[in-house]
């Protein structure tokens, strides 16, 4: 590869090339849409991101980085992967060049003049023993990245997870050389008891409440309890081809870097997100977002920041709020902060949030619900939590942590009645 080619990366949505990244320095790069994309879609169209509407002018580094850095893992995971690849941790351009063949949404980032695969690529199928070994190896090999085996992929976030393909018959493998992944396997964490059951429970409560949530199931591999999550940004086409659906988290959509995802560090607020949804979403999205904020509050999820909400572009010219994901009751773990990732009317202590604060937040965000509507929605979440706990007992996956989550929901529902 020539030096000029090393300074450029091609950006695709699925099979369609839409633009190019150009390196400007060790941690600086800029994005330009291909001319044909701007001509066909029109100036201002949302193609890659709501924060990067189609235009002929190049986007400078400051506007480019929030979306593309949002495709990469964070924290220790990023550091370990950078070490494996021999790339500086700060070098997002270099990391994208090596990991970009399978990212969140439909985005594919490849060396210049390289085309993406077709969705029928190679898969390294794993026995249950191999799968358990790779799950245990995640601290050393985050996401399951193994460059020597052609397993190069990326996904945002800090939690340990293995990115895999699951066949219709249940067989699980790792995608090789840009094959799209279909599932995420999240192992339990010793420091946070029963976190797998916690997340499975919260996702089921969301579904029972009437919100769309990621499909997930508890699976044990060897002695490791895990949560296997179906990716909502993937679907199957004819002949079992895996098709990428485009999505972006709300930090990306608002042009906010991942490290600024918390509101008190400059990240998006509930009002900011509501304004974006009002501009590009639907009334249903706004209603679901307000209900999702309530659900997270009642279940005790203080980590519901803007990267844990997303937009899904699953049909041409349509954007909608993506299914909910990464819902965990953090309130049941004393070691974790109780500070809310997004404040309620400026209050980030959940114990201080009452009906007046909630109504103030809703008014600021442009909602005009009546107090009785809020009471109905809160009671629906609480009833869903109790029903899901009963189901867990009947189905054999109940743990005492579920009683603690229900108790949090009861306490917070009572708070909003005051």
| Adjacent-strand bridge partners of 219 | 226
137 noted as active-site residue:
no
For 102, what's the count of Cα atoms within 13 Å in the CB-facing half-sphere? Answer: 31
What Å distances lie between residue 341 and 21, 133, 269, 344, 347, CA to CA? Answer: 32, 34, 9, 10, 10
Choice among 249, 285, 303, 348 that is catalytic: 303
CA angle (361, 363, 364) in 5-degree steps: 65
Phi/psi of residue 94, nearest 5 degrees: -65, -40
Other residues' Cβ atoms within 10 Å of the Cβ of residue 137: 14
Other residues' Cβ atoms within 10 Å of the Cβ of residue 24: 14
Contact 252, 66 (CB under 8 A): yes
Q: Is 61 exposed, middle or buried (0-12, 13-18, 19+ CB in 10 A)?
A: middle
Contact 189, 195 (CB under 8 A): yes
SS3 letters for 195-225? Answer: HHHHHHHHHHHHHHHCCCECCEEEEEECCEE
Task: List strands edge to edge, sheet with 183-187.
Answer: 123-125, 172-175, 162-166, 183-187, 224-230, 216-221
Contact 68, 94 (CB under 8 A): no
Nearest Cα residue to 328 out of 305, 356, 354: 305
Active site residues: 303
């Amino acid at each position: 590869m020539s030096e000029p080619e090393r300074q450029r990366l091609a950006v695709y949505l699925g099979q369609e090339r839409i633009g190019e990244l150009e390196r400007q320095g060790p941690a600086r790069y800029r994005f330009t849409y291909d001319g044909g994309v701007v001509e066909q879609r029109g100036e201002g169209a949302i193609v890659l991101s709501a924060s990067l509407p189609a235009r002929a002018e190049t986007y400078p580094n400051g506007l480019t980085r929030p979306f593309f850095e949002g495709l990469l893992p964070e924290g220790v995971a990023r550091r370990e992967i950078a070490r494996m690849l021999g790339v500086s941790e700060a070098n997002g351009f270099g990391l994208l060049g090596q990991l970009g063949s399978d990212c969140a949404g439909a985005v594919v980032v490849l060396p210049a003049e390289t085309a993406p695969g077709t969705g029928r690529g190679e898969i390294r199928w794993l026995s249950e023993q191999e799968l358990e070994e790779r799950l245990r190896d995640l601290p050393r090999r985050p996401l399951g990245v193994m460059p020597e085996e052609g397993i190069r992929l990326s996904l945002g976030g800090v939690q340990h997870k293995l990115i895999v393909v699951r066949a219709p018959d249940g067989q699980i493998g790792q995608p090789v050389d840009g094959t799209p992944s279909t599932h995420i396997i999240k192992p339990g964490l010793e420091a946070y008891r029963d976190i797998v059951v916690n997340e499975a429970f919260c996702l089921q409560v969301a579904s029972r409440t009437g919100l769309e949530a990621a499909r997930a199931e508890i699976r044990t591999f060897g002695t490791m309890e895990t949560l296997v999550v179906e990716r909502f940004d993937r679907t199957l086409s004819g002949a079992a081809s895996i098709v990428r659906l485009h999505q972006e988290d709300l930090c990306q959509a608002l042009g906010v870097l991942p490290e600024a995802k918390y509101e008190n560090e400059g990240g998006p607020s509930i009002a900011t997100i509501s304004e974006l949804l009002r501009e590009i979403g639907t009334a249903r999205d706004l209603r679901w977002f307000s209900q999702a904020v309530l659900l997270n509050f009642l279940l005790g999820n203080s980590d519901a920041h803007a990267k844990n909400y997303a937009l899904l572009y699953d049909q041409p010219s349509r954007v909608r709020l993506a299914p909910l994901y990464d819902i965990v009751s953090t309130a049941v773990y004393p070691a974790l902060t109780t500070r809310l990732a997004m404040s309620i009317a400026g209050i980030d202590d959940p114990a201080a949030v009452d009906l007046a604060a909630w109504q103030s937040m809703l008014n600021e965000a442009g909602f005009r619900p009546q107090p009785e509507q809020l009471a109905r929605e809160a009671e629906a979440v609480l009833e869903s939590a109790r029903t899901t706990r009963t189901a867990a007992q009947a189905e054999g996956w109940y743990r005492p942590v579920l009683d603690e989550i229900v108790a949090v929901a009861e306490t917070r529902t009572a708070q909003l009645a005051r």
